[in-house]
Amino acid sequence: MSHDFSKEFFAAYHAAVFDALGEDGAKYNAKMGAILANAWQKRLNVLPADTAGFKEAIEAYMSGPFRFSDIARFEFNDDGTACLYVKGCDICKGNEIQRNKGKTGYCPISQMVKSAIGKALKKNVELTGSEKPGPVGECYLRYKIAL
């Protein structure tokens, strides 16, 4: 029998993991992101070699087997930047639990995308920031990609 986790369970679990990691949270956040990127890569028959293929593959994964949010849209821009738009994110809700306890929230998705772009497109990638314009669970993760 299949069992899908509730958003509440996942948020509480995410908060508990980073609560347990304490001051090592930042270090493990990057490592978790790389592990998640590797798991994505292993599901592919062929690693995308261009931006269109990457966009298609990462969005398919994030709307299918790795659904962590209601919306996850990825865009490459002509100026060497990229952005993942997320809305209804379960991880953000876990980070809100942490912030309400006066602790830091961490986003392994931001690091996953950074690692995935680097591996697929063989480019240096920098996470340049995140913007949170709306309710908890909505953000823009921004990246700079070396041309």
Contacts 24+ apart (CB under 8 A), 56-62: 57/120, 58/113, 58/116
In a domain, 2, yes or no: no
Number of domains in the chain: 1
Residue 3 in this model has a pLDDT that exceeds 70: no
Model pTM?
A: 0.91
Give pLDDT, residue 6. Answer: 85
Q: Tell me the CB-side half-sphere exposure of residue 128, using CA atoms within 13 A.
A: 13
pLDDT of 5:
75
The model's confidence at residue 7, banded by pLDDT at 50, 70 and 90, is confident
Confidence check: pLDDT of 45 > 60: yes
DSSP, res 23: G
Check residue 95 and give its pLDDT. Answer: 94
Residue 56, domain member (yes or no): yes
Please indicate, yes or no, if residue 128 is contained in any of the structural domains.
yes
In this structure, what CATH number is given to the domain that contains residue 131? 3.30.1380.20
Domain of 52, in residue numbers: 7-145
pLDDT band at 58 (very low <50, low <70, confident <90, very high): very high
> What integer pLDDT is reported at residue 48 of this predicted model?
95
